[in-house]
Amino acid sequence: MKFTSNRVLVPVLILIAVALLASTVMAAGKARIRFEGLTHDFGELRADQKVEFDWPYHNEGDGPLKILRTRSSCGCTMTLLDGEVIEAGKTGKLKIAFDPAGQHGSVTKTLSVVTNDPERQRVLLTVKAKVLPVDTPTVEGDHPPITGQSLLMGDCATCHAAPAADKSGEELYTAICAMCHGVDGTGISAPSLRHPSYLESRSDQELNEGIAFGTTNPRMPGFGQLMGGPLTEDQIDTLVKLLRKWGPTTDDGSASGD
């Protein structure tokens, strides 16, 4: 009888435990995110005009809401996360920063936002702009502001390709990258390579491919030898390792890993 009674008691205890767990989960509540629109158009911008936008979002659930991370399709589009928890029924703002440097014409970028909303864990936002060229004085012997792959050819190669020979790591970066991306990777005429929403959201392979094959908007030539550039695969690997060593900047843009 004792054996039979235990066989009956164990399933009952399991059912009670499951019920208690379910009630705890229900009591905790669920977050539910809703952005005010999924597309923001900055309109016409000069290529040297950086802009920001506070994207409102609401927690329409009955549990606390938190944005866990973001991933942008390009380093020119950044987010500034404050780690704030938005309580049920409250509103938050996600700050978006867009740097059109090196871009031209109609530009569309996407931003993936990951939250703790169990039914909508990932929200895709879209940023648009029409980037106007900036009139800059022509300097004799200088290259045009937008050149694409030709930046690594002819006379331009003297500055942008040839100095890469026999260099690696920081020495290589200083020779051919710093003139556009800054001595510490935080950007000058080209976007920052170290903003958290860019550097932390990309794998080593993605960083490697961006250097090797280039990007379209902002237009950066492919520096890998397959694209006619000067860099070997080993050299590109050393640049990726350098970016990882430096690490991301803080959200205010200052360097934090040097």
Write the CATH number for 85: 2.60.40.10
Task: Identify the domain boundary among 102, 132, 162.
Answer: 132
Task: Identify the domain boundary among 83, 104, 132.
Answer: 132
Q: Residue 25's pLDDT is what?
A: 44
Residue 253 forms part of a structural domain? no
Residue 128 forms part of a structural domain? yes
Q: Residue 74's pLDDT is what?
A: 78
Write the Ramachandran bin of 105: left for phi over 0, alpha for psi from -120 to 50, otherwise beta: left
Over the chain (258 residues), the average pLDDT of each successive run of 10 is: 52 60 58 96 92 95 94 81 88 92 86 94 95 69 61 82 94 94 89 86 91 82 91 96 92 49
Residues 165 and 234 in one domain: yes
Q: Residue 14's pLDDT is what?
A: 64
Residues 155 and 122 in one domain: no
Q: Residue 79's pLDDT is what?
A: 85
Domain that holds residue 170: 148-246
Q: What is the largest CA-CA distance in the chain?
A: 101
Residue 258 forms part of a structural domain? no
Tokens of 63: 């549990």
CATH of the domain at 233: 1.10.760.10
Residues 128 and 174 in one domain: no
Residues 153 and 120 in one domain: no
Residues 167 and 86 in one domain: no
Residues 76 and 38 in one domain: yes
Residue 22 forms part of a structural domain? no
Number of domains the chain is built from: 2
Q: Residue 114's pLDDT is what?
A: 94
Residue 14 forms part of a structural domain? no
Tokens of 207: 């960083």
Q: Residue 257's pLDDT is what?
A: 46
Residue 178 forms part of a structural domain? yes
Q: Residue 258's pLDDT is what?
A: 44
